[in-house]
Homo-oligomer: A and B are copies of this chain.
């Protein structure tokens, strides 16, 4: 069995923490690991690490590699790249082609598809369900995972179970859209409806035949090579696997699960996955709460004090704060839309931006200057580049840097500095064994990220664009 994680989403429902530049799968909600890392580790209880793959797109490639590397360097390259997002049906088709061509999988190989940004506990129970689903997939089913509802949730799609097929698996009677409250209450009472968790298992052979029957246009594309599928991917129809195949297929089945599951679809659901204290508060960060009830605070470095409040959600980041009434967290969308309209950077990027070589944090920006803290990982190097409109002062605060300015290369160490004039080619690398931390002070009439000419890049990035 191969496990494949879908990690191409760019959701902002957890804004201001999740942004286009750092969507939900990469953020750290409960504990120190990203939701993607947690997903990988959960799947490692089901299949060997080497059989876990992630499908994503170019924008998130380095994030995914970084997260995979943090679990095990051996799987850092287990990434399938979609050149462009075309919803889940073409993605599944690409995954299957990848498995057949690159991994030499046969038609009996089971593929387990899994979202990258959910929370499921405990892992042992999950592994047992996954094994049940694998058996049912081998028997020819497309096995969806249905979560036994604990409340009349209106934010999820539902699956109604039909007749038993044995092994804990049932035929799908029907897929139901997100219901209104009354309908959801009916589902809960009836007991035969389950939340659609977005996970499913199937053999390559089963899914190929169902694509052929219900999604012939996608099926036809699969006769070419993986490389060609990728190059023509943008002409794929954009359609979800649910609409394209599962809602039509007679092989769709559902495995009901009794397990703690959350798609963490809004800040309202944080208390489902992080246990509130005796006052009903979830406090993450540097929080001082006095006489405060049923309130979720999620912060970073700054001190957050709450006094005499209840039923609030307070989400604090370096450059943006959200205070929203509990129960209304889905309205973050309104904020995000308003900010998009105003072209505000706070929906796109954080003050810290991740790059394949490390990260940078904008400490301050002013007219004609910008100050960054830059972290370069061991053995990584930035592209060979120049800027027309700014010069750069570099001061090393930790580690050692190999710096090439013009034709001259030198090593600089902690508490040393150097200077890169305008229009001068330069390269920064960390040949050392510990992360390199440095401060960059940019001076110039324009300090935008797009003032860069790239001569060489070990990460295959183009001549223009981002540092």
Q: Of B308, B346, B368, which contacts A331 at CB under 8 A?
A: B308
Chain A contact surface mostly: strand
What would 7 more interface pairs be, CB under 8 Å, given A288-B338, A303-B320?
Answer: A290-B331, A302-B319, A308-B331, A366-B437, A395-B443, A415-B443, A439-B439
Minimal Cβ-Cβ distance residue in B for A291: B331
In the complex, per-residue mask of A105-124: 1 if CB is within 8 Å of any chain B CB, else 0: 00000000000000000000
Q: CB-nearest residue of chain B relative to A319? A: B302
Tell which of A332, A339, A417 has the most Cβ of chain B within 10 Å.
A417
- Contacts A290-B331, A339-B288, A397-B366 known; A322 to B307 CB distance under 8 Å? yes
B441 touches A397 (CB 8 A): yes
Q: Is A231 an interface residue (CB 8 A)?
A: no
CB pair A308–B322 under 8 Å, yes or no, is no
Specify which chain B residues have a CB less than 8 angstroms from the CB of A328 in the assembled complex: 307-308
A331 to B289, CA, bound (A): 12
CB distance A303 to B323 under 8 Å? Answer: no
Query: What's the nearest-Cβ distance from chain B to residue A73, in Å?
Result: 27
Find chain B residues with CB under 8 A from A318 CB: 302
CA distance A406 to B181 in the complex (A): 76
> Does A325 lie within 8 Å of B309, measured CB to CB?
yes
Interface size on A, residues (CB 8 A): 55
| Chain B CB within 8 A of A304 CB | yes
CB distance from A340 to the nearest CB of B (A): 12
Picked from B308, B321, B334, the residue with its CB within 8 Å of the CB of A302 is B321
Q: Return the CB mask of A366-403 against B: 1 if under 8 Å, else 0.
A: 10110101000000000000000001010101100000
Indicate if the CB atoms of B324 and A306 lie closer than 8 Å.
yes
A58 within 8 A of B: no
A364 at the interface (CB under 8 A from B): yes
6 CB < 8 A contacts A-B: A288-B339, A302-B319, A306-B323, A307-B324, A307-B331, A312-B323
A291, A323, A344, A414 pick with most chain B CB within 10 angstroms: A323
Q: Please tell me if the beta carbons of A323 and B323 are within 8 angstroms of each other in the complex.
A: yes
Residues of B within 8 A of A368 (CB): 397-398, 414
| Cβ contact within 8 Å between A441 and B334 | no
Q: Is A236 an interface residue (CB 8 A)?
A: no
**Bound complex: CA A373 to CA B366 (Å):** 11
Judge whether A139 is part of the interface by a CB distance below 8 angstroms.
Answer: no
| Residue of chain B at shortest CB distance from A419 | B417
Whole-angstrom distance between the alpha carbons of A331 and B290 in the complex? 9
Residue from the set A301, A308, A331 with the largest chain B CB neighbour count within 10 Å? A308
Q: Does A335 contact B (CB under 8 A)?
A: yes
B residues in contact with A307, CB < 8 Å: 322-325, 328, 331-332, 334-335
Question: In this assembly, does A72 line the interface, its C-beta being within 8 Å of a C-beta of chain B?
Answer: no
Q: Which of A17-41 contact B (CB under 8 A)?
A: none
Q: Say whether A305 faces chain B, with CB atoms less than 8 Å apart.
A: yes
Interface presence of A131 (CB below 8 A): no
8 Å CB contact of A391 from B288, B415, B443: B415
Chain B's closest residue to A303 (CB) is: B320
Within 8 A of B (CB), among A404-455: 414-415, 417, 419, 437, 439, 441, 443-444
Q: Judge if A314 is at the interface, Cβ distance under 8 Å.
A: yes
Given contacts A323-B323, A371-B439, A417-B419, contact A364 B366 (CB under 8 A): no
Closest chain B CB from A332 CB (angstroms): 7
Chain B residues whose CB sits within 8 angstroms of the CB of A366 once the complex forms: 397, 437
Contact B306 A320 (CB under 8 A): no
Is there contact, CB below 8 Å, between A309 and B312? yes
- In chain B, what residue has the closest Cβ to A295? B323
How many angstroms from the CA of A397 to the CA of B344 in the assembled complex?
A: 26
Mask for A333-345, Cβ within 8 A of B = 1, else 0?
A: 0110011000010
Question: Who on chain B is nearest to A396 by CB?
Answer: B443
| CA of A366 to CA of B396, assembled, Å | 13
A363 contacts chain B at the CB level, 8 A cutoff: yes
Closest residue of chain B to A391 (Cβ to Cβ) is: B415
Partner of A303, one of B301, B325, B344, B397: B344
B321 touches A304 (CB 8 A): yes
Cβ contacts under 8 Å, A66 to chain B: none
Query: Nearest chain-B residue to A323 (Cβ)?
Result: B306
